[in-house]
Amino acid sequence: MIIKGAEMNIVECEDIYKTYQQGRVEVEALRGVSLEIETGEFLAIAGPSGSGKTTLLNIIGGLDLADSGRVVVNGSHYDKMSQSQLASLRLYKVGFVFQAYNLIPVLSAIENVEYVMLLQGVAAGERRKRARQILDDVGLEQKYDRRPAELSGGQQQRVAVARAIVSNPSIVLADEPTANLDSKTGKGLLEIMQTLNHEKKITFIFSTHDSMVMDYARRLILIRDGRLAQDTVKA
């Protein structure tokens, strides 16, 4: 039973199991993972490929559902929610930064950032104002009208971060955010997210095997073979 600091927890996972079918083989991605994450944390979930870290991130984000166990995010119990309710939570409360960026190629940088707010029904003038401000915050004030193909990998990832945070979500989930970046660009991106964490109090959760991300994280969770192997809070 998870009780410690429950009133401060933005994420609670209790005894989570998840199994996938790969051909004729069952793969146990998660085996009884229990985890609490407090509001405002800057946390990395680390482990080798196949350890279950991305599966755990997807379950926290409501992109996938656990086979068993309890998941509570921002006070919402996933097992009591319909698919439309989960979609609404993802739209308004959770920001996603994907390893492949997932930008819309025919839209400009500012239009990509505006897209989530468009789905939320935010008025056009307010959308544009907020999108400009957040692109300025991530150092892309000269790139508003560039399409993804006209941006470097690091710039595309900054657009993805801006899109994830522009609607002021409670939590941002970033899957291998530095995987396609050189070390200098990755460091700059992490510093941007660290600043946003401090200033806007957004909770950041990364899945990674990048040691630089682990160094920046204030809490490091290690997963091996679908089980929680280590949980370290840095001084």
Q: List the domains of the chain with CATH numbers.
A: 6-102+169-233 (3.40.50.300)
Q: What angle do CA 141, 201, 99 make, to 5 degrees?
A: 60
| pLDDT exceeds cutoff 90 at 138 | no
| pLDDT exceeds cutoff 60 at 5 | no
* Residue 105, both tokens: 């190629």
- Write out pLDDT tens, residues 191-228: 888 988 998 889 999 999 889 999 999 999 999 999 99
Q: Is the dihedral of CA 59, 186, 179, 51 positive or negative?
A: negative
- Write out pLDDT tens, residues 11-42: 999 999 999 888 888 889 999 999 999 999 99
Instruction: Determine the pLDDT at residue 187.
Output: 87
HEC profile of the chain? CCCCCHHHEEEEEEEEEEEEEECCEEEEEEEEEEEEEECCCEEEEECCCCCCHHHHHHHHCCCCCCCEEEEEECCEEHHHCCHHHHHHHHHHHEEEECCCCCCCCCCCHHHHHHHHHHHHCCCHHHHHHHHHHHHHHCCCCCCCCCCHHHCCHHHHHHHHHHHHHCCCCCEEEEECCCCCCCHHHHHHHHHHHHHHHHHHCCEEEEEECCHHHHHHCCEEEEEECCEEEEEEECC
CA dist list (Å): 6 to 73, 101, 131, 220: 11, 33, 34, 20
